[in-house]
Structure 1
Amino acid sequence: MTPSKIKLHREDGSLTLEYANGEHFTYSGEYLRVHSPSAEVRGHGKGQEVLQFGKKDVRVTAAKSAGNYALQITFSDGHDSGIYSWDYLRELADNYPEYWQRYLDALSAAGKFREADISTVKLMDPNASPQNK
């Protein structure tokens, strides 16, 4: 389904797709960025996906049509590869709760964070023997 209107919201870096039937979906820059269809994110095959983290403040800075079937989106972190087909954008909208939770679970399992300036540090026990440090 091809949207009838595309709106880039510069104030928060989100993107809204509106359809002739009145439906509309707004995507945050973070959601689109971490679900990019690019090889950088998806890898080159099953099991080669690369978990994106630290993307909470990433914004959509530009969107242009790629033929009649897709959008090429540019993000504030410089990422601009990957073509978002109309079908894929609709899939992202229709499956938002599941996809978002799966992403949050993957971050948690990897000890990663949405925020760019947070990392996990392992504290050492000062009483541990040198070989256990």
Structure 2
Amino acid sequence: MLETIPDQISFDEKNLHIRWKDGKECSYDLLRMRKMCPCAQCRGGHETTAKRVTGSIQEIQLRSFRKVGRYALSLLWSDGHDLGIYTYDSMRQSCDQGIPYTPAGEEG
């Protein structure tokens, strides 16, 4: 479980950076993370997860983040959106596999 606990979290204009407790460092593209927001609103509602409403976003800025318990981050975006819960497990898994961030249960 140590590998999915962040030690340090920071961000710049393009990426979210996490250094995990086991020492691994990962960076996540902010535009991709916003487009892949795991919340029901961005995924097209509760009826379907196939239709994303974030496809037209071309640029975004991360304003801030907050930890959600011991398992996730909530990100506040420049478009005012903050409903997505980005789990540490999903973030770490994408980093370990060398693939861009994809929420659990979805294909990139």
Pair in the same fold by TM > 0.5: yes
Uncovered stretches (5+) of structure 1, i.e. residues with no partner: 104-133
Q: Which has the larger radius of gyration?
A: 1
Distance 1:40 1:5 in 2: 29
Q: Give per-residue Cα distances to partners, 1:24-74, cap 9 Å, x unaligned.
A: 111122111011110012232555432522323112111101111111101
- How does 1:1-133 map onto structure 2 within 5 Å? 1-9=4-12, 12-42=13-43, 43-93=45-95, 94=97, 96=99
CA distance in 1, matches of 2:54, 2:48: 16
Q: Amino acid of the residue matched to residue 14 of structure 1?
A: N
Q: TM-score, normalised by structure 2?
A: 0.74
Structure 1 pair 98–81 and aligned structure 2 pair: CA distance change class (3 A): closer
SS in structure 2 of the partner of residue 16 of structure 1: strand
TM-score, normalised via structure 1 length: 0.62
User: How many residues in Structure 1 have an aligned counterpart in Structure 2?
Assistant: 99
Structure 1 or 2: more helix by fraction: 1
RMSD: 2.4
CA contact (8 A) 1:34 1:52 kept: yes
Give me the whole-angstrom Cα distance separating, in 2, the residues matched to 1:38 and 1:98. Answer: 14
State the percentage of identical aligned residues: 26
Partner Cα separation in structure 2 for residue 81 and residue 72 of structure 1: 7
What is the identity, as a one-letter code, of the residue corresponding to 1:21?
D
Unaligned runs of 5+ in 2: none
